[in-house]
Amino acid sequence: MEIGQKVKVYRLRDRVSAPIAKKLGQVGVIQGYKVTDGQGIGVVVLFEDNSSTWFFEDEIKPV
């Protein structure tokens, strides 16, 4: 996946807060990457409401 690519959140691997859970099914744009604590690389996604959060690569799909 590349920066600037549109992606859709299709699953959440862990328990998350309600605001992040509401992102399930939404489309956003990859803004960058995040090194996680040994479980791989995270992807920072910016959404239409100007909020952003990171997801594991297996939680998002290109659209």
Name which of 10, 50, 14 is nearest 29 in CA terms: 50
Please, are residues 44 and 29 in contact by the beta-carbon 8 Å criterion?
Answer: no
Q: What is the pLDDT of residues 38-47, one digit of tens each?
A: 767 899 999 9
pLDDT at residue number 36: 79
pLDDT at residue number 38: 73
Q: What is the pLDDT of residues 8-40, one digit of tens each?
A: 999 998 888 999 999 999 999 999 999 877 767
